[in-house]
């Protein structure tokens, strides 16, 4: 049976257009106002609710609230006029799953509805599988959180969402590639959340953080006496993750001997603890991530080709933020809300000029850098809105399209994925100090307080800031 979709819009042409676009793959109901919509919601098992935010005098938000009280609430997608993204973000905070802006791109809507329906299917499957066990049921509801944390409505992010839903429930090994800060870890979590594997069985290993020998025993464990410091038997991460997911972060950093062992573990689905020849069977779903160009490492013989193919069964490539500028405002709104709440500030809008700056910047540190910039803005602003001068100063210095990647995109494919312009911590720090001093009119004690450092530390750091006196 096809998934059931309810379309709510007060304009007939929109209703008809949507009905036509969705009719083939879904069982479609339409309603012109909240009253009609509620009747359908009560009598039909609606999987996906697609509603306009403004329904004549009524609000789609109230309808959303109503829908969420149903015993099996539909996945809700809000339609909103271009430019009222803030209301849409509010709707998402209240429990809507996604939103689309008008004028509608029918293909986009169709994709989104299909994704919603698929998520819903997985959700009810999870519910069915776990209905006898209350503990497990709690987990099922957190599993639907899988994709919700991954914000973005660009074509590229929609594709990633689709891929995640598609491959999550399988056993396939996934390789997530992308620059630093693009959301690789978030995707790994989503894959696990939607995998149907026990929620608490996600084991994460950062391969860059350990020396080769330590990494090997971290992954596979060791027997007592395997090497001089092995006083106890140790269970490795593979065994810990049995039945669940093992996330190998920064996979590009593992040494050749561990690469061989990992290949064995992946192809034979057994591991051996260091110092033992006893194979132990494990059922582990492996997800790996890297910001290196593994293909290039393979040609340079730094990474084993056979292991690369084992890992790269499904490839998810996270697009850099500069290639999906349409997500910037949406991400910024969400971070704005997050940090306003966290810092007990009232929610303020970003000024037009500040928004322009965010849109134009090239974001070498991707979403992580945007997140930090918004946090900076929230903390620094004591005006009605967040202005250009409250954002980190470096935003001015790295504006598109001056980055080499943009000038010649074909070169990018062959290069390492790591950002070209190094993300300079020192500059960031100096900018924060400048901002804090500007904010406090040069009062060093207050500025130090704002930055969470002692006045003495600030003094010391100011010595590193040769132009500090001019810029104040
Ligand atoms: N699409 C997104 N929606 C919301 N938040 C995001 C998104 N992508 C990334 N973030 C946030 O940006 C930060 C960096 O993301 P994450 O740690 O997943 O990046 P990464 O690709 O693993 O980076 P690295 O290579 O440096 O480890 C996190 O705070 C994450 O929550
Ligand atoms: Mg990461």
Residues 6+ apart with CB under 8 A from 24: none
Residues 135 and 155 in one domain: no
Q: Say how many Å lie between the CA of residue 471 and the centre of ligand 1.
A: 33
Q: Are residues 179 and 255 in the same domain?
A: yes
Domain stop point among 268, 301, 317: 317
Q: 353 and 292 in one domain?
A: no
Using the atom order of ligand 1, give the atom closest to the CA of residue 178: 21
Tokens of 145: 């959180």
286, 311 Cβ separation under 8 angstroms: yes
Whole-angstrom distance, CA of residue 194 vs CA of residue 177: 20
| CA 227 from centroid of its chain's CA atoms | 40
Give the pLDDT confidence score for residue 427 in this predicted structure. Answer: 60
Ligand 2 centroid from CA 250, angstroms: 8
Which atom belonging to ligand 1 lies closest to the Cα atom of 157? 1
- Rounded to the nearest whole angstrom, what is the distance from the C-alpha of residue 46 to the centroid of ligand 1? 33
- In ligand 1, the atom with minimum distance to the C-alpha of 152 is 1
Quick one: which of 34, 36, 37, 31 has its CA closest to 14? 31
Q: At how many degrees (to 10) do helices 444-451 and 425-439 cross?
A: 130
Q: How many structural domains compose the chain?
A: 3
- Say how far apart CA 102 and CA 104 lie, in whole Å: 4
Q: Which of 160, 161, 178, 185 to mutate to test the pocket of ligand 1 (most atoms within 8 A of CB)?
A: 185
**Ligand number with the minimum distance to the CA of 176:** 1
Question: Closest ligand to 316 CA?
Answer: 1
Specify the ligand 1 atom closest to the Cα of 370. 12
Query: What was the pLDDT predicted at 83?
Result: 65
Q: Whose CA is nearest to atom 15 of ligand 1?
A: 183
Distance from Cα 90 to the centre of ligand 2, integer Å: 28
Question: Ligand 1, closest atom to CA 186?
Answer: 18
Distance 186 CA to ligand 2 centre (A): 8
Same domain, yes or no: 302 and 168: yes
Answer with the one of 271, 302, 317 that is the final residue of a domain: 317
**Smallest Cα–Cα separation from 91: which of 50, 60, 56?**
60
Tokens coding 23: 């009719």
> Are 123 and 170 in a shared domain?
no
pLDDT of residue 438: 66
Query: Cα(205)–Cα(214) distance, rounded to whole angstroms?
Result: 12
> Residue 453: which CATH number?
1.10.8.60
3-class secondary structure per residue, 256-316: HHHHHHHHHHHHHCEECCECCCCCEECCCEEEEEECCCHHHHHHCCCCCHHHHHHHCCEEE
Instruction: Tell me: do 280 and 296 sit in the same domain.
Output: yes
Closest among 403, 405, 390, 399 to 436, alpha carbons compared: 390
Q: Do 334 and 299 sit in the same domain of this protein?
A: no
Dist CA 53 CA 64 (whole Å): 9
Q: Which residues contact 138 (CB under 8 A, 6 or more apart)?
A: none
- For ligand 1, atom 10, the nearest C-alpha belongs to 183
Question: Which residues have C-beta atoms less than 6 Å from ligand 1?
Answer: 150-152, 178, 180-186, 291, 331, 367-368, 371
CA of 251 to the centre of ligand 2 (A): 11
Task: Please report how many Cα atoms fall inside a 13 Å half-sphere around the Cα of residue 132, on the Cβ side.
Answer: 1
The verdict on 157 and 16 lying in the same domain is no
* Calpha distance 448→380 (Å, rounded): 13
CATH number at residue 133: 3.40.50.2300
Q: Which ligand is nearest to the CA of 204?
A: 2
What is the number of the ligand 1 atom nearest to the C-alpha of 188? Answer: 18
Q: Which ligand is nearest to the CA of 368?
A: 1
Full pLDDT tens readout for the chain, 472 residues: 899 999 999 999 999 999 999 999 999 999 999 999 999 999 999 999 999 998 888 888 899 988 888 888 898 999 987 666 777 777 777 778 888 888 899 988 998 898 888 777 766 665 555 444 444 444 444 444 678 889 998 999 999 999 999 999 999 999 999 999 999 999 999 999 999 999 999 999 999 988 888 899 999 999 988 777 777 888 999 999 999 999 999 999 999 999 999 999 999 999 999 999 899 999 999 999 999 999 999 999 999 999 999 999 999 999 999 999 889 999 999 999 999 998 888 888 998 888 888 888 889 999 999 999 999 999 998 888 999 889 987 776 544 332 333 333 333 333 334 343 444 566 667 667 776 776 666 778 877 877 778 888 888 877 765 443 333 3
Same-domain check for residues 209 and 342: no
List the one residue out of 329, 308, 307, 411 whose CA is nearest residue 84. Answer: 329
Q: Are strands 221-222 and 234-235 parallel, antiparallel or unpaired?
A: antiparallel
**At 256, which CATH number?**
3.40.50.300
Which atom of ligand 1 is nearest to 183's Cα?
Answer: 18
**Claim to verify: residue 102 and residue 155 sit in the same structural domain:** no
Tell me which ligand sits closest to the C-alpha of residue 164: 1
Please give the Cα distance from 377 to 397 (Å, whole number). 17
Ligand 2 centre distance from Cα of residue 180 (Å): 7
Residue nearest to atom 13 of ligand 1 (CA): 368
43 and 67 belong to one structural domain = yes
Buried b (16+ CB within 10 A) or exposed e, 80-112: beeeebebbbbbbeeebbbbbbbebeeeebbbb
Boundaries of domain holding 87: 4-143
317, 332, 358 — which closes off a domain?
A: 317
Q: Which atom of ligand 1 is nearest to the CA of 249?
A: 27
Task: State in Å: Cα 293 to ligand 2 middle.
Answer: 15
For a ligand 1 pocket test, name from 206, 368, 418 the mutation site with the most ligand atoms within 8 angstroms of its C-beta.
368
pTM: 0.60
Nearest ligand by distance to the CA of 372: 1
Q: What does the alpha-carbon distance between residue 90 and residue 333 come to, in Å, rounded to a whole number?
A: 10
Q: Which residue's CA is minimally distant from atom 25 of ligand 1?
A: 180
- Dihedral pair phi/psi, residue 242, rounded to 5°: -50, 125
> Closest ligand 1 atom, CA of 327?
1
Q: Are residues 463 and 440 in the same domain?
A: yes
Ligand 1 centre distance from Cα of residue 371 (Å): 9
> Residue 203 in contact with residue 244, Cβ under 8 Å?
yes
The angle formed by the CA atoms of residues 217, 218 and 223, to the nearest 5 degrees, is 40
Cα 95 to ligand 2 centroid, rounded to whole Å:
27
Q: How far is the CA of 249 from the centre of ligand 1 (A)?
A: 13
Pairing outcome for strands 174-177 and 314-317: parallel
Q: How far is the CA of 34 from the centre of ligand 2 (A)?
A: 43
**Which residue, by CA, sits nearest to atom 8 of ligand 1?**
183
Ligand number nearest to the C-alpha of 177: 1
């Amino acid at each position: 049976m096809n998934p059931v979709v309810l379309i709510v819009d007060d304009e007939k042409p929109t209703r008809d257009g949507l009905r036509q676009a969705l009719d083939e793959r879904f069982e479609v109901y339409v309603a012109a106002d909240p009253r009609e919509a509620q009747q359908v919601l009560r009598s039909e098992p609606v999987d996906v609710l697609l509603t306009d935010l403004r329904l004549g005098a009524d609000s789609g938000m109230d309808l959303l609230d109503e829908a969420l009280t149903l015993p099996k609430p539909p996945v809700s997608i809000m339609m909103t006029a271009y430019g009222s993204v803030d209301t849409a973000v509010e709707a998402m905070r209240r429990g809507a799953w996604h939103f689309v802006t008008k004028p509608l791109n029918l293909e986009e809507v169709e994709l989104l509805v299909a994704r919603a329906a698929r998520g819903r299917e997985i959700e009810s499957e999870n519910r069915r599988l776990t209905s006898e066990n209350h503990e497990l049921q709690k987990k099922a509801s957190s599993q639907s959180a899988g994709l919700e944390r991954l914000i973005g409505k660009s074509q590229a992010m929609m594709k990633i969402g689709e891929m995640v839903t598609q491959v999550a429930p399988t056993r396939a090994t996934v390789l997530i590639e992308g620059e630093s800060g693009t959301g690789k870890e978030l995707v790994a979590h989503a894959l696990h959340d939607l995998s149907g594997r026990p929620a608490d069985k996600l084991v994460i290993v950062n391969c860059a953080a350990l020396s080769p020998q330590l990494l090997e025993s971290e992954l596979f464990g060791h027997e007592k006496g395997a090497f001089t410091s092995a006083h106890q038997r140790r269970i490795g991460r593979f065994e810990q993750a049995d039945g669940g997911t093992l996330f190998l972060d920064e996979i590009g950093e593992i040494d050749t001997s561990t690469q061989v062992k990992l290949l064995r573990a992946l192809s034979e689905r057994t591991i051996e603890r260091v110092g033992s020849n006893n194979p132990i069977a494990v059922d582990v779903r492996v997800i790996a991530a890297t910001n290196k160009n593994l293909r290039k490492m393979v040609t340079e013989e730094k990474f084993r080709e056979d292991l690369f193919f084992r890992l790269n069964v499904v490839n998810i490539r996270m697009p850099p933020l500069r290639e999906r500028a349409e997500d910037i405002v949406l991400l910024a709104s969400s971070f704005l809300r997050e940090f306003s709440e966290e810092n007990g500030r009232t929610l303020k809008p970003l000024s037009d000029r500040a928004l322009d700056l965010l849109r134009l910047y090239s974001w070498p540190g991707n979403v992580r850098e945007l997140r930090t910039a918004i946090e900076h803005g929230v903390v620094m602003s004591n005006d009605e809105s967040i202005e250009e001068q409250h954002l980190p100063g470096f935003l001015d210095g790295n504006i598109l399209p001056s980055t080499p990647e943009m000038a010649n995109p074909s070169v990018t494919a062959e290069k390492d994925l790591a950002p070209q312009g190094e993300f300079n911590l020192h500059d960031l720090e100096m900018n924060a100090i400048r901002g804090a001093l500007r904010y406090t009119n040069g009062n060093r004690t207050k500025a130090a307080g704002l930055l969470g450092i002692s006045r003495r530390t600030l003094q010391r750091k100011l010595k590193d800031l040769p132009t500090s006196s001019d810029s104040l």
